[in-house]
Structure 1
């Protein structure tokens, strides 16, 4: 008999990607204008770090975690109980339902840059980054939760459309080589080429769920059409129906194959590139633009798990479960097991091996900054993610200051994922050649009960050749200003004395 081990095996894949599939858009907006941090070049290949050479501290160049969703918070689901449950936490399905959007997206990202290097050559700057990245997404329609909450009483004689399920997970390694050039005094352009090495991928290519209820209510027909594509080491056991049709009886993840050889010797190759530009409009105003991750990965050694089936639910037969002394007595657990086995038999997956290509989510950044004085500037950054034909925009306003030469700080405010309470901050401190930095787009996520977006980036760099000729010019300019100011005061003093002499 077909068992539902499939769902548990697929959950192992989800466990591979940080064990919790929950978010909507990856955020890096505060870092974008922290240009004394070399990793801002990862968001715009035209941004040239200040120092002649930087080296990401081995193994600690950049660690980035992100969670976001576009609908609910923890407080929308979990509430303090009342009455007999006043000492307990309870699930509030009504509050959860009311907080949902028509389509809900939940995602996680984890980026680990274990090697970074940057070298300046006159007006050009070269970079090399090596990273491991994980991106997971879960999507569902509000109609599914509505049906589970309200039941099928409102759908007698018709079909309830429960929408589609979106389940995606991708893990890959990236080697990125970038170059930027100052074309004119105002314009700098950059490009970055990325070799991609796919580790594992799973995504829903097609999904449809519906439930039909007869007018009398004696028939409930469940229908599911799903097409899931998977590229990872699996052991699939197939069986054959009496009609000769093969179907999947069991799926197991081959844990032994998830070793160093698999991760480094992957057969899933891809390519992507980034484009960027900066333009200094005047002494105080600078504009920025970049497009990231144009490209994708071709996944080989893959499986297509396909399902298109219906099941007529007519209830379980409990007639022989009332009297335990009846020779035909059947325990309720046995009746339920027969029922679930019947559902499992109806909803069998069938596989078709092949290869497929999957694009990376493309990101478009547009921004600008305005220098208030020598120590402080303000800026704005918009970020739009393009994925599966959908646009996910965000906007961040920030203020950036360099209190002293080797210490800078930023504060930001972001609007993203239907959330408007995202206050972020970033700091970067340098002692000798050693720099440490930390940045988040939403510090309020430290209270997870109310957060829809949470991210954090941390890293360390070694930086050399950070003194610029322009700094000497700045010192000269300051000296000239002081001399000019002193001469003005002398002239004013002489004018007053001359005026006094004339009056006498």
Structure 2
């Protein structure tokens, strides 16, 4: 009856199984990881050649709740507690997950020019759902007698390769600008098309349920449809296959940035993923659920969906009663742009403070995020720091980070939610970023992130 709803709930919850950007890397000038957020940051790299090695970034964001709040252990299984979920959420709630697996990169500085090249696999997932949808599952339809409620969520998860080629130029020994073009190749995705509607009405006298729906689900390498009662969300968005780089699902994106070096003060500003989109034309399967159906009986949903049974069991209990319309027509995924404004200041030779403001496009609306950090150079080759992070609708989090540079190796590790990582051991919930790089060529005297009067490698 309501298969589209539960497919979407599966989509929303699958975001928690993924796992880029945390709010620390853009402020660590001199690190390879900072260049992903601003192509002009190449000029902060102390060596003329930097080789980016594999790295991982992962950040799950749940508005108004935490993942551990809505799952309980019962009979050796982890199951959803819909009642607890209902008590925590607002009228509209967003789930967002960003993941990045960085495979390789290269940055070269020669005179005033800087060149950069990299490849990474990205996953961008976002969904929005109403409290009414959760209440319906948690409480049944009794609270909605005599009402018509809208249940349709919206959202998308998209996985894609990104190959970035950047060019930057130092206008002076203190100001550099840069741009980057990014070639995107989509590998898999699930999208709820805009404008979908699922309305449920419970008659005041007969308690009959009337379901009116018009929902389109667009998928690529994600949804298996075998027969009338068998839909399977078979989706591994973090799968990495370089053979997919020749696929037909492609798009472009652009980054622009500026970096300023004022001795002890370093500033940067950038916009990333400008105009980013992917046109899906290959391996597309779209399903449109339409029609009006009426069912008898009060609390049909409450009987089927108690908070003590798993989502998988609930989905299996509600079989389709009609054949959806199927098509292979192409569609487009839009990837929201982000704006970064930040800076660092060396309070002393070893102590640095920084601040970052990020504006993120979330489901068509710009949402702010703020980070404050302090970092201390324990040794010439090791810096450790603490960072305070806040996003709209997300609980303020305390994180830790370190940057180590033994020899030519550079190690970056950060968690925006350090105590969550300690309590759960789950990197998907802790905003973790890990990365390696190699510094090649003549070594600079300054430590990455410390003050210097001009950009490296200028004549």
Q: TM-score, normalised by structure 2?
A: 0.80
Residue in structure 2 matched with residue 379 of structure 1 by the alignment: 354
- Offset of residue 154 of structure 1: 3.9
The match for 2:32 among 31, 34, 38 is 38
- 2:14 partner SS: coil
1:264 aligns with 2:245: yes
- Offset of residue 252 of structure 1: 7.3
1:188 aligns with 2:176: yes
Q: How far apart, in 1, do the equivalents of 2:376 and 2:197 lie?
A: 51
Residue in structure 2 matched with residue 306 of structure 1 by the alignment: 288
Q: How far apart, in 1, do the equivalents of 2:52 and 2:162 lie?
A: 16
Residue in structure 1 matched with residue 203 of structure 2 by the alignment: 214
Say if 1:51 and 1:464, in contact at 8 Å, map to a contact too: yes
Q: How far apart, in 2, do the equivalents of 1:404 and 1:203 lie?
A: 49
Residue in structure 2 matched with residue 160 of structure 1 by the alignment: 149
- 2:64 partner SS: coil
Change beyond 3 A, Cα 1:253–1:418: closer
- Offset of residue 432 of structure 1: 1.7
1:51 aligns with 2:47: yes
Residue in structure 1 matched with residue 187 of structure 2 by the alignment: 199
* CA displacement 1:265-292 (0-9 Å, x = unmatched): 3111111111111234x44333221111
The match for 1:436 among 402, 407, 411 is 411
Residue in structure 2 matched with residue 454 of structure 1 by the alignment: 430
Residue in structure 1 matched with residue 344 of structure 2 by the alignment: 369
Where in structure 2 are there 5+ consecutive unaligned residues?
299-316, 454-459
- Offset of residue 105 of structure 1: 1.9
Q: How far apart, in 2, do the equivalents of 1:64 and 1:278 lie?
A: 23
Change beyond 3 A, Cα 1:274–1:394: same
- Offset of residue 463 of structure 1: 0.6
- Offset of residue 436 of structure 1: 2.0
The structure carrying a bigger helix percent of its residues is 1
- Offset of residue 421 of structure 1: 3.9
Higher relative contact order (CA 8 A, sep 6+): 2
Where in structure 1 are there 5+ consecutive unaligned residues?
239-247, 317-339, 478-504
Say if 2:105 and 2:116, in contact at 8 Å, map to a contact too: yes
The match for 2:269 among 266, 289, 307 is 289
CA-atom RMSD, angstroms?
3.9
Alignment of 1:63-82 (within 5 A): 63-74=56-67, 76-77=69-70
Residue in structure 1 matched with residue 389 of structure 2 by the alignment: 414
Which of the pair has more CA radius of gyration?
A: 1
Residue in structure 2 matched with residue 487 of structure 1 by the alignment: none
Change beyond 3 A, Cα 1:233–1:259: farther
Say if 2:46 and 2:446, in contact at 8 Å, map to a contact too: no
Say if 1:22 and 1:138, in contact at 8 Å, map to a contact too: no
Say if 1:298 and 1:355, in contact at 8 Å, map to a contact too: yes
* CA displacement 1:377-434 (0-9 Å, x = unmatched): 2111011211331223210001123333322222110112534441112112122212
Residue in structure 2 matched with residue 350 of structure 1 by the alignment: 325
Change beyond 3 A, Cα 1:151–1:29: same
- 2:25 partner SS: helix
Alignment of 1:31-180 (within 5 A): 31-47=25-41, 48=43, 49-57=45-53, 60=54, 62-74=55-67, 76-77=69-70, 93-162=82-151, 164-180=152-168
Residue in structure 2 matched with residue 501 of structure 1 by the alignment: none
Q: How far apart, in 2, do the equivalents of 1:401 and 1:304 lie?
A: 53
Say if 1:105 and 1:137, in contact at 8 Å, map to a contact too: yes
Q: How far apart, in 2, do the equivalents of 1:369 and 1:97 lie?
A: 41
- Offset of residue 308 of structure 1: 1.6
- 1:445 partner SS: helix
- Offset of residue 78 of structure 1: 5.1
Q: How far apart, in 1, do the equivalents of 2:334 and 2:281 lie?
A: 14
- The alignment covers a number of residue pairs equal to 421
Q: TM-score, normalised by structure 1?
A: 0.73
Q: How far apart, in 1, do the equivalents of 2:287 and 2:212 lie?
A: 16
Q: How far apart, in 1, do the equivalents of 2:429 and 2:444 lie?
A: 38
